[in-house]
């Protein structure tokens, strides 16, 4: 298919890149009709496993195996990678009869993996194989075999693992996602396995973790004057002050935006009572809500501050967009 951005001198490199992408995309598409009852058996095998999924492969397949193990582990299926050469020199002791051994080999004849089969069977571990040849030794010996090959490698010599590794990687993702859905894996569970990343912070950080509390929260009572409120705003450095009654129940908020609007209306700023110019019924949030929800409320309401209240609407704290930035929620 021609590209409207192509000029008369479209380079050989561009043409080669497009050919590679087309071949690898076709390799993935060709897997779709291969996903059948065998795939269901593979998912059931892992779901019924009381141990872990031990993923292994050599060479390029080993790199793909590492990624599949990582994806499984981060999406609710306990898994780890073991190098087949290391496994044959002692690391196979990590595999128990409760585990599923997931072996990747495009040829299905990788000697390092075939060496492990008799030991795995004696230990009672179940064997799941991803290969490009169902009739291979690994394919025949497996409890469940899944086709993960490619009709053509993207390499011009048809030698370097390219399309076949892409297909294996995609099938590994399909296994992980199918298991996620079967287990009902949630966002909270995902966050717990990613506490150090930005996603983990967004899904785990609560409002109470980033809000200001106690004396750090600017507040005045409903009987205060505008002058009192301005002094409190200056002290609190949040661009606002909460307005509360004697029981600390929130009655309103006064922000620098309210101040600008009062000036534009020509109001007498010296003797004005704060209750007359505050914004009543301000947006609030609970301390145990996710900080990410505070971001959504701010964006939806086009505000930069929120008051934090308990179930009785009593003031517990406050936060602004800078607090959320410091907490790396946004």
Cβ contact 305:238 at 8 Å:
yes
- The full DSSP string for 279-304 is EES--EEETTSBHHHHHHHHHHHT-S
207-326, CATH topology level: CBS-domain (3.10.580)
Name the band, by pLDDT with cuts 50, 70 and 90, for residue 69: very high
Q: DSSP letter at 124?
A: T
CA-CA distance, 101 to 107, in Å (whole number)?
A: 17
Query: Mind listing the pLDDT tens digit for each residue in 215-234?
Result: 999 999 999 998 899 999 99
Alpha-carbon dihedral 216, 222, 224, 226, rounded to 10 degrees: 90
pLDDT recorded at residue 90:
78
Of the chain, the percentage scoring pLDDT greater than 90 comes to 74
CA-CA distance, 74 to 176, in Å (whole number)?
A: 9
Paired sense of beta strands 126-131 and 144-147, if any: parallel
Statement: residue 261 has pLDDT above 90: no
The answer to whether the Cα torsion of 84, 85, 86, 87 is positive or negative is: positive
**Overall average pLDDT of the 169-174 stretch:** 97
- Domain boundaries of the chain, sorted by first residue: 12-185, 207-326
Q: How far is CA 97 from CA 115, 120, 171, in A?
A: 18, 8, 25
For residue 60, which of 135, 151, 167, 136 has the smallest C-alpha distance?
167
Q: Please tell me whether the overall predicted TM-score, pTM, comes out greater than 0.85 for this model.
A: no
Query: What number of CA atoms fall less than 13 Å from residue 138's CA on the CB side?
Result: 28
Instruction: Choose which CATH entry (3.90.1150.10, 3.40.50.10490, 3.40.50.300, 3.40.50.1820) describes domain 12-185.
Output: 3.40.50.10490
More confident residue, 7 or 304: 304
Statement: residue 148 has pLDDT above 90: yes
Q: Which residues of 51-72 are buried (b: 16+ CB within 10 A; e: fewer)?
A: ebbbbbbbebbbbbbbbbbbbb
Statement: residue 199 has pLDDT above 80: no
Name the band, by pLDDT with cuts 50, 70 and 90, for residue 186: confident
pLDDT recorded at residue 49:
93
Query: What number of CA atoms fall less than 13 Å from residue 279's CA on the CB side?
Result: 19
Query: Mind listing the pLDDT tens digit for each residue in 26-54?
Result: 999 999 999 999 999 999 999 999 999 99
Cβ contact 103:128 at 8 Å:
yes
For residue 217, which of 281, 287, 276 has the smallest C-alpha distance?
287
**Overall average pLDDT of the 180-203 stretch:** 71
**Overall average pLDDT of the 104-132 stretch:** 95
**Overall average pLDDT of the 135-164 stretch:** 95
Statement: residue 14 has pLDDT above 60: yes
Paired sense of beta strands 305-309 and 315-320, if any: antiparallel
pLDDT recorded at residue 268:
73
Q: How many CB atoms lie under 10 A from the CB of residue 295? A: 16
**Overall average pLDDT of the 92-113 stretch:** 94
Name the band, by pLDDT with cuts 50, 70 and 90, for residue 74: confident
Name the band, by pLDDT with cuts 50, 70 and 90, for residue 163: very high
More confident residue, 147 or 328: 147
CA-CA distance, 275 to 272, in Å (whole number)?
A: 9
Statement: residue 284 has pLDDT above 80: yes
Cβ contact 172:67 at 8 Å:
yes
pLDDT recorded at residue 177:
95
**Overall average pLDDT of the 132-158 stretch:** 95
Helix (H, G, I), strand (E, B) or coil at 321: helix
Statement: residue 195 has pLDDT above 80: no
Name the band, by pLDDT with cuts 50, 70 and 90, for residue 9: low
**Overall average pLDDT of the 163-190 stretch:** 90
Statement: residue 172 has pLDDT above 90: yes
């Amino acid at each position: 298919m021609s590209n409207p951005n192509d000029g008369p001198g479209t380079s050989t490199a561009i043409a080669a890149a497009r050919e590679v992408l087309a071949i690898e995309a076709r390799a993935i598409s060709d897997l779709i009709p291969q996903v059948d009852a065998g795939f269901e058996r593979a998912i059931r095998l892992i779901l019924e496993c009381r141990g872990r999924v031990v993923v292994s492969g050599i060479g390029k397949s080993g790199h793909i195996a590492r990624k599949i193990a990582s994806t499984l582990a981060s999406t609710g299926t306990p898994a780890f990678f073991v190098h087949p050469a290391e496994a044959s020199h002692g690391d196979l002791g990590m595999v128990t009869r409760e585990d599923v051994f997931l072996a990747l080999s495009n040829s299905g004849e990788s000697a390092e993996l075939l060496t492990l089969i008799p030991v795995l069977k004696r230990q009672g571990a179940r064997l799941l194989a991803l290969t490009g040849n169902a009739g291979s030794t690994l394919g025949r010996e497996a409890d469940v075999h899944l086709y993960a090959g490619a009709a053509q490698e993207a390499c011009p010599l048809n030698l370097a693992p390219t399309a076949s590794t892409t297909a294996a990687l995609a099938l590994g993702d399909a296994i992980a996602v199918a298991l996620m859905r079967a287990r009902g894996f949630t966002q909270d569970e995902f966050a717990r396995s990613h506490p150090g990343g930005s996603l983990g912070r967004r899904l785990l950080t609560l409002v109470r973790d980033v809000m200001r509390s106690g004396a750090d929260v600017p507040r005045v009572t409903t009987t205060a004057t505008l002058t009192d409120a301005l002094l409190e705003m200056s002290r609190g450095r949040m661009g606002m002050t909460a307005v509360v009654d004697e029981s600390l129940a929130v009655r309103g908020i006064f922000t620098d935006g309210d101040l600008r609007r009062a000036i534009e209306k020509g109001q007498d700023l010296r003797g004005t009572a704060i209750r007359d110019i505050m914004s009543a019924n301000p947006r609030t949030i609970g301390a145990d809500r996710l900080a990410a929800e505070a971001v959504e409320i701010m964006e939806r309401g086009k505000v930069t501050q929120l008051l934090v209240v308990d179930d009785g609407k009593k003031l517990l704290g406050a936060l602004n967009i800078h607090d959320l930035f410091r907490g790396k929620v946004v």
